[in-house]
Amino acid sequence: MDPNTQTIFAPETKLDQANSPTNFSFKTLSSKKRKMLIIFGIIFVLVSLAFIIGAIISSNSDKKVRLVIENANNSYIAGDISKARQDLESAYGEYPDNEDVQAALIKVIANQGNLSGDEKQKYDEAKKYIEDALKDNPNNVQVLLSVGYIEEVAGNYPKALEYYDKALSMDSNNPEGWFHRGHVLYFQGDYVGGRTAIEKSYSLDNKDPLVLIAMGNIAYGESDLEKAYRYFLEASKISDTPVQIRSEALTAASITRRLQLIYMDESIALAKQAVDLNPTFSPALGAYGYVLSINGRAAEGAEYLTKAIESNPRISLNYHLGAMVLRMVGQYTDSVDYEKQAIEKVANDNTILGASAKAEVRSNYLYELAVTHTLNGGNTETVALLSEALSLNPMLKDNLVTDYETNGRFAELSSNLEFQALLL
């Protein structure tokens, strides 16, 4: 099934017999820790999908330049990134060596790639602007941060860190610099350093919505869902916050409420707000589609999950959520197809921070694929899938034992010695 050309469900499929959320295996079979790991990628990386233009306009900038950047920023806040880029490219034609125009233009192009999943293409489109900016204004903090950001989006993390560090060497109290330094450290697997940098940014500016989302992510990682929710909600209410970032914050708040289980209505409402604000934002579409599906609105939810995949095919979680919904309604063959696509996408999914996080996410997708196989009567690759999942994340052994001994899963493997060895 090609997710870009077909909907998740065939038109003739009857969906009104979908299981209720309380019977849905993704919830009933997973421990709290496992739930956190499965959703970890998207919730912890929502921050990477946005970056305010934020070009600082120097006092001697031309009035027309200031007006163009202001208009571009307004377009960005309203969610029209293409218009923002168009305005800035026009200004670049007149003022090619202006540091404010250069910085803002590079950031906007990076954002376009980050949202659509074609980061490399957008990086190539921005190369001339990057080269000119570094030649004309090599010591401008905003230029350095913008170049660092587009390098980060393209996956060039060591380079990005070099630019962030240079910017911070010139302005050590720049909260934006500390935030992005922390973000790239997370991508490199340095979670302690990343957290330290994020907290430094927060100490310098506790009203930046991106920093608030990052602080929410930290609380989320510590399983303090209520604290995380408060950070996310606060971020969504900061005045003049671009709709893209507000949508991210609301999506994160929705996911958090969903995991708390007793706030499902609020989770649905928050996800809908996120989609209404930014109808093409893939994580919001995925979160909304999934929470609708597990609350008895599977047909509608499937439409949003399909839109999520089409909006950004690079995000693995949306394929996984689609697989869970398909499994919930007994469409095991299609569920297997989607879960396999989720597994394939993990390696190049830039919404998952760091190699260890990717290993954990991959392990959970592998495990869920094995569960789908056993629900469908078993498969010759089930044991291999479980073995790889446990090798990546040994904590899944508790889930395996519970599934087998309590929930009656994997009964077809009871005489399989290799499977029995996994239980020991």
Give tens-digit pLDDT for 221-257.
889 999 999 999 999 999 888 888 999 999 999 999 9
Q: Which residue has the higher pLDDT, 133 or 70?
A: 133
Q: Is the pLDDT of residue 6 over 60?
A: no
pLDDT at 241: 84
d(CA 292, CA 76): 29
> 181 lies in a domain?
yes
> 197 lies in a domain?
yes
Q: How confident is the model at residue 19 (pLDDT cuts 50, 70, 90)?
A: very low
- In this structure, the number of other CB atoms found within 10 A of the CB of residue 60 comes to 5
> 423 lies in a domain?
no
Q: What is the CATH number of the domain that holds 103?
A: 1.25.40.10
> 124 lies in a domain?
yes
Mean pLDDT of 186-215: 93
pLDDT at 353: 74
% of the chain at pLDDT higher than 90: 63
Host domain of residue 117:
61-204
The answer to whether the CB of 49 falls within 8 A of the CB of 283 is yes
CA dihedral sign of residues 50, 104, 74, 235:
positive
The answer to whether the CB of 147 falls within 8 A of the CB of 133 is yes
Mean pLDDT of 20-26: 31
pLDDT 10s digits, 172-200:
999 999 999 998 998 888 989 999 999 99
pLDDT at 114: 79
> 91 lies in a domain?
yes
Q: How confident is the model at residue 355 (pLDDT cuts 50, 70, 90)?
A: confident
DSSP 6: S
> 121 lies in a domain?
yes
Q: How many domains does the chain have?
A: 1
Tokens, residue 163:
């630019």
> 419 lies in a domain?
no
pLDDT at 73: 80
d(CA 290, CA 271): 10
> 100 lies in a domain?
yes
Q: Which residues contact 297 (CB under 8 A, 6 or more apart)?
A: none
The answer to whether the CB of 263 falls within 8 A of the CB of 290 is no
d(CA 392, CA 80): 41
Q: Which residue has the higher pLDDT, 62 or 129?
A: 129
What letter represents residue 29's amino acid?
L
pLDDT at 112: 85
